Structure 1
Amino acid sequence: MSTQTFEFQVEARQLLQLMIHSIYSNRDVFLRELVSNASDALDKLRIAALRDDSLDADVSDLHILIETDPEARTLTVRDNGIGMSYDEVSELIGTIANSGTAKLLAELREAKDGAGAEGLIGQFGVGFYSSFMVADEVTLVTRRAGEGGGTRWTSRGEGTYTLERLDEDAPQGTAVTLHLKPADPDDQLHDYTAEWKLREIVKRYSDFITWPVRLAPADGDGDGEAAALNSMKALWARPREEVSDDEYHELYKHISHDWRDPLETIRLQAEGTFEYQALLFLPAHAPHDLFTRDHKRGVQLYVKRVFIMDDCEALLPSYLRFVKGVVDAADLSLNVSREILQQDRQIQRMNRRLAKKVLASVKDLRTADPERYATFWKEFGAVVKEGLVTDPDNRDAILAAATFATTHDEDAPTTLKDYVERMGEGQSDIYFMTGESRQAIENSPHMEAFRAKGVEVLLLTDPVDEVWVDAVGTFDGKPLRSVAKGEIDLGDGAGDTSDAEREKLDEEYAAVLGWLSERLADDVKEVRLSSRLTVSPACVVSDADDITPALENMYRAMGQEVPATKRILELNPGHPLVRGLKEAYTGREDHAGLAETAELLHGLAVLAEGGQPKDPARFVKLMADRLERAL
């Protein structure tokens, strides 16, 4: 036997000290984590045995055994699962690896309450180290199934740990022994050698685990019978009336590592030629990495209550990646790789059915509990709308579940169905505008005529909105139309310009518009009079078929080259600045002095929509000079 001593990495030592010396209101979480790790080891062994007939491993009685010695004050959690090799112990247990980050340490320090600390422990995958909250020393003995020899890992949670190769065979699986801290006579509620306490913790956190969790007799009598602590009844397999909300919530917390209750619980039982059960959860809050590549998505997949994989991405489309839960199928091939499983026809059928069920549940939630729906849509609406682009088969279901901010009511978002029902006589389009915020959109010059006429406009502020409106195109036969693209005709009304007056204005402004088009040819494709402005002097708009500047920026941010698109400058003939420009142009032969005015007019239009002039420094100098002359 050879024993080596290693030092923890700096952040690992800091993390361990936080766990050892910080006071958490719920230290019971350590046993939940150890039992969960043991359950995972049993799952992995079962799958390994199914895939490899030659594996020399005993799978006749897979279980988790808890042993206590009140006199020695030790607690051991033992499993006969897959176990670990020496190298695996060194890699997975000896260091915290990616979990030991400054961000994790900061969040643990900020987690003053027990629930917060508990959630972080699970979230960052450092559950094993929670043992040091209750133990002065932790010893791990393990042997990988099918291999000879074992490994012992020992640490007091301070600066070092030891690794030892065991020449003699250790039992198959892993045993974690905690040398508990001295008993506190004033704190009998946290005596982790007491049978009643262990039963309470297992019942609360691990009752649904597939494998039996047994408690060895405390007197050390080898002939005594180990008592079962969990029911092993999967919640998704039990009748609805037999499962409480608390049980659902505990399952959600276990599989999601979220310490908060879910927003909604969804059950589905499919019967017929292909049977499966699903228990899904809508979280109440979006995870911080929801829009990153590293975000783990998917639900747990079981086949006949046998665990297959975590984070099965193939079961739900990517726009529902926030959904957590369990899917238990009656018949799926186990001896398949992850890639083949994703192409399985039955998996694809489950994907479609589960997506429809989730979307229908979201729609029902909007009617049944608008407040909870508002919470859901605030957290996940931007993600769900991705499906309008990526999942045309479910596009109608997504639109039926979606709501959008609108000028109709500042406090109440609208559905497209309700928008269409409110459309005025003669209105044929569903109008929308995209932007960074509601305030920016409402203050945009593009909105002036719509506000003046009381025409409702959808206010779309998520980046995905730039894409899905073009992908969807129409709703209920009504085109989706941007108020910032193409020419706008809102029909006749009080104060509108008649056709005759319009023709007269076009004739009056023809010369100056032509001159401006030439003068600004490097920046705009056309200069024309506007029918959408009532207050501002000018605005820039895109042609009906052009992509928006925001979409151009999105493509460039993704590394895609997009040719620059010239836009259209629209002028308000009723604004004094525009009238003055026209009159100055008509009244003089030398128009060089008006060039700065034309440049400033275009720059103001770009600024008004949240952009910036091509040469900001020059624009500022021109504006300063003009203001100086005006004083």
Structure 2
Amino acid sequence: MKVQETRNFESEVKQLLHLMINSLYSNKEIFLRELISNASDAADKLRFKALSNIKLYENDNQLKVQISIDKKEKLIIINDNGIGMTRDEVIENLGTIAKSGTKSFIESLNISSKKLENNKQTTQFIGQFGVGFYSSFIVANKVSVKTRAAGIPHDKGVFWESTGENNYTITNIYKKFRGTEITLHIRDNNNEFLDVWRIKNIISKYSEHISLPIEIQTYNEKTKQYVWEQINKAQAIWLRNKSEISDSEYKEFYKQLTHDTTDPITWSHNHVEGKQEYTSLLYIPSNVPWDVRNRDYKSGIKLYVQRVFIMDDAEQLLPKYLRFIKGLVDSNDLPLNISREILQDNNIIHNMKNMLTRKVLNMLINLSKKEDVYNDLWKKFGLILKEGPAEDLNNKDKIIELLRFASTYNNNSIQNISLETYINRMIKGQNKIYFLTADNYLSAKSSPHLEFFINKKIEVLLLTDHIDEWMMSYITDFKGKPLQLISKKDDSLNDFLQKEDNIDNNKNIKELDYFIKKIENLLGNKVKKIYYTNRLVNIPAIVTTDTNEMSTQMAKLFAAAGQQTPEIKYNFELNPTHVLIKKAMKIKDEKYFSEFINLLLEEAILAEKGTLDNPNIFINRINYFLSNEKI
């Protein structure tokens, strides 16, 4: 019995259809690429499911896509004998955008539809979320779909139809053959696509590499009959010799594989033989998926076994910090019935992961030699690569080579300085790599800890991403040079002091020792230790942490993650040459002295942390001095 109903599209689909129809008018031909790509996916899914149930082939295992044109009725019909769909799957796949996060992504664009129509992000979005079916409405004013899932009764077929406006109709039908047939009712202004040669050219341009035969119906003048003509070679591109594949073919395959509309930055195609046999084709994309910084972002690596598609997001093949890499791996060693659970503990997969990781890192290292190209890549994926030193200790040295930082050398926030470049600029006598972590670039740039290094012309790396402090806890040295956080106490800095910088007057030293003892009695356990320092010039005091203590930024990182952190006890370092310290040494009034020293301490903590535990006390202290007649 036929059950027909009319259903409304979800709001995201309505918005998407509007964008689709109004924004891609300059690149209409992609509709065919998208529909052929979907047909290829349907064939892959059938092959995979048929591994455990050969009956799904229904005595027809010659998978293909067939395209026919009816000029008189202005129709293009795309038919495949892949996996097909059930009624519920039709509703899910054609009536909604099932991919999680799509709605929030649309909202996050925060651009009106009118602006978005001419925005490059639109086409990237269309492919990124795998909604290529809706591209049919670029050229068609009505789309009809007949489908039946493999292995279900013939009378459980489904008919779906829509004009691409607010709703669609769906009904049960009898469909003898499994698979999906899509009929496009072509708009009056798109008659060019009713030409067989135009369709052939589109297939050759976008889908030559599809491993599924693509046939088009043509009229044979000699026999006066319609025949099916295969257009593509139907050979998987990754199985071909690299020397036979052009750059344009690699790029088009990438677009078909990922549904991205932009060219990749570069790629690596490798055949591995020996103890293990596999082929990999890995791409570095130029487009940044909006959610790629999320650790739960799905891997972009497809897994094939003996040319049979197994799964879309084989996250076991590359570490998380390389999740932006796209491509595929085709193994000859894995069993065809392998599951995600088996992948977790499979030695073959483990070895492949190690080799693929090294391959990608070498590809990135080679790319880093092209400074402009790599700097652009770093802007897009640098935050993700920063997860590497903690995640992949075996390849830590290679990952460190890829890191880029802002520094005091450039006087801007651009992260384009490698540790190799830093080492080559180190001054005479310098044997450490100095860095500073802060909440943002302005905070880092104005940090009182920088004063000494600027005066001595020592370059300091400025790290302002939230992940930086955590990352640097895994990087202790580079090429024999220790890394030193400048907000921690470092006695080795005394090596840079000139003789005239030192306090060598015994009287001054005695006065300072007495002064510090007085402050120790006043502050008690508010601070860990109190020193006078010779490295400050224009700043009266700073706070530092000991080498083995948790740093301020690390404590902030823990707090942001909801974890408890031990209380940080700072060292209080005073500049004996500063006018305020000299003034403090002369204060006789105990109340005034207490307020003065506490204010200096709170100023130093505020400069270090950006916050105070009790800002009201700080404000009251300032008000005390503003209203005191001694000022």
Tell me, yes or no, whether TM beats 0.5.
yes
* Contact 1:12-1:100 within 8 A present in 2 as well: no
Instruction: Kindly provide the CA deviation profile for residues 275-332 of structure 1, in whole angstroms up to 9, marking residues without a partner as x.
Output: 2222222223433212224422231222233222212111111111111122222332
Matched, 1:177 2:183: yes
Give runs of aligned pairs for residues 266-345 of structure 1, distance below 5 A. Answer: 266-345=268-347
Distance 2:535 2:258 in 1: 50
Do 2:87 and 2:158's aligned partners in 1 also have CA atoms closer than 8 Å?
Answer: yes
Distance 1:222 1:513 in 2: 106
Matched residues, number:
619
Q: Provide the rounded CA distance (Å) in 2 between the counterparts of 1:522 and 1:493.
A: 30
Matches within 5 A, 1:65-76: 65-76=66-77
Does the alignment pair 1:608 with 2:607? yes
Which residue number corresponds to residue 128 of structure 1?
133
1:516 correspondence with 2:519: yes
| Matching of residue 78 in structure 1 with residue 83 in structure 2 | no
The CA RMSD measured in Å over matched residues stands at 2.7
- CA separation of 1:518/1:128 partners in 2, compared to 1, >3 Å: closer, same or farther? farther
Name 1:620's counterpart in structure 2: 619
SS at the partner of 2:459? coil
Deviations 1:79-110 (A, max 9, x none): 11111111111222222345456427947643
Distance in structure 2 (CA, Å) of the matches to 1:315 and 1:355: 8
Superposition pairs of residues 206-221 of structure 1, within 5 angstroms: 206-217=207-218
1:249 maps to which residue? 251
- The percent of aligned pairs where both chains have the same amino acid is 38
Q: Distance in 1 between matches of 2:37 and 2:522?
A: 71
Q: Does 1:165 align with 2:172?
A: yes
Equivalent of 1:150, from 131, 135, 157? 157
Flag the 1:370–1:43 CA change in 2: closer, same or farther, 3 A.
Answer: same
Instruction: Give the 3-state SS of the residue equivalent to 1:564 in structure 2.
Output: coil
Residue range with higher mean Cα deviation, 419-428 or 22-31: 419-428
Deviation string, structure 1 residues 114-158 (Cα, Å, up to 9, x no partner): 865432211123211121121121111111111112111111222
SS in 2 for 1:201: helix
Name the CA distance, whole Å, in 2 between partners of 1:538 and 1:58. Answer: 84
Residues 302 and 492 (structure 1), Cα distance of their counterparts in 2 relative to 1, 3 Å cut: closer
Is the CA contact 2:542–2:604 (under 8 Å) kept in the aligned structure 1?
yes
- Whole-Å Cα distance in 1 between the matches of residues 242 and 141 of structure 2? 43
Q: Does 1:137 align with 2:142?
A: yes
Residue range with higher mean Cα deviation, 53-62 or 525-534: 53-62
Task: Point out the more displaced range, 247-256 or 308-317.
Answer: 247-256
- SS, match of residue 357 in structure 1: helix
> Which residue type is aligned with residue 10 of structure 1?
S
Does the CA contact (< 8 Å) of 2:19 and 2:122 recur in 1? no
For residue 449 of structure 2, give the secondary structure of its aligned residue in structure 1.
Answer: helix
What whole-Å deviation, never above 9, does each CA across 1:411-448 have from its counterpart, x for those lacking one?
89443344445444543322221223444323211122
Q: Which residue of the partner structure matches residue 34 of structure 2?
A: 33
CA distance in 1, matches of 2:119, 2:516: 69
In structure 2, distance between residues paired with 1:159 and 1:404? 50
In 1, distance between residues paired with 2:270 and 2:112? 36
Compared CA separation, residues 574 and 559, structure 1 to 2 (3 A):
same
Please give the secondary structure, in 1, of the residue aligned with 2:602.
Answer: helix
Name whichever of 555-564 and 142-151 sits farther off.
555-564
Separation of aligned partners in 1, 2:528 and 2:150: 72
User: Post-superposition shift, 1:560?
Assistant: 1.9
Shift of 1:624: 4.1
Q: Which moved more, 1:48-57 or 1:532-541?
A: 48-57
What amino acid does structure 2 have at the position aligned with 1:535?
A: N
1: distance between equivalents of 2:94 and 2:507?
82
Give the deviation of 1:470 after TM superposition: 2.2
Matches of 1:124 and 1:218 in 2, distance apart? 38
CA gap of 1:528–1:44, structure 2 versus 1, over 3 A, is same
SS, match of residue 95 in structure 2: coil
Cα distance, 1:70 vs. partner?
1.0
State the distance in 2 between where 1:73 and 1:552 align: 67
Match of 1:564 in 2: 567
Query: Quick one: which amino acid aligns to residue 198 of structure 1?
Result: I
Contact 1:298–1:315, Cα closer than 8 Å, also in 2? no
Letter paired with 2:571: I
* Map of 1:430 onto structure 2: 433
**In structure 1, C-alpha distance between the alignment counterparts of 2:120 and 2:69, rounded to whole Å:** 27
* Contact 1:5/1:162, CA 8 A, preserved across alignment: yes
Further displaced range: 347-356 or 466-475: 466-475
After TM superposition, give the deviation of residue 46 of structure 1 in Å.
0.1
Contact 2:456 2:496 in 1 (8 A): no
Alpha-carbon offset, residue 222 of structure 1: 11
1:580 is aligned to 2:583: yes
Letter in 1 for 2:487: A
Question: What is the distance in 2 between the residues matched to 1:253 and 1:132?
Answer: 20
Question: 1:211 aligns to what SS in structure 2?
Answer: coil
CA distance in 1, matches of 2:58, 2:521: 83
Partner secondary structure for residue 333 of structure 2? coil
Once the 2 structures are TM-superposed, how far is the Cα of residue 235 of structure 1 from its aligned partner?
2.9
Q: Does 1:463 align with 2:478?
A: no
3-state SS, counterpart of residue 225 of structure 1: strand
Q: Which residue type is aligned with residue 483 of structure 2?
A: L
> In 2, Cα distance between the equivalents of 1:115 and 1:465?
32
- Residue 561 of structure 2 aligns with an amino acid whose one-letter code is M
Q: 1:150-203 deviations in whole A, cap 9, x for unaligned? A: 11111122222111122x344201111111122x3xx6xx52221111112112
**Does the C-alpha gap of structure 1 residues 80 and 106 become closer, same or farther in structure 2, counting only changes over 3 Å?**
farther
Q: How does 1:378-417 map to 2 (within 5 A)?
A: 378-410=379-411, 413-417=416-420
Q: Secondary structure at the match of 1:489?
A: helix
Partner secondary structure for residue 492 of structure 2: coil
Deviation per CA, 1:592-624: give whole Å up to 9, x if none: 222221222122212323512222233234324
Deviation per CA, 1:56-84: give whole Å up to 9, x if none. Answer: 63452011111221111111111111111
Write out aligned runs for 1:469-548 (5 A). Answer: 469-490=472-493, 491=495, 493-494=497-498, 496-498=500-502, 500-501=504-505, 505-521=508-524, 523-548=526-551
**Contact kept in structure 1, 2:8 and 2:167, CA below 8 Å:** yes
- The 2-side partners of 1:40 and 1:327 are apart by 16
Distance of aligned partners of 1:261 and 1:627 in 2 relative to their CA distance in 1, 3 Å threshold: farther
User: Are 2:488 and 1:451 equivalent residues in the alignment?
Assistant: no
- Residue segments in structure 1 that go unaligned for 5+ positions in a row: none
* Cα 1:451–1:30 shift into 2, 3 Å: same
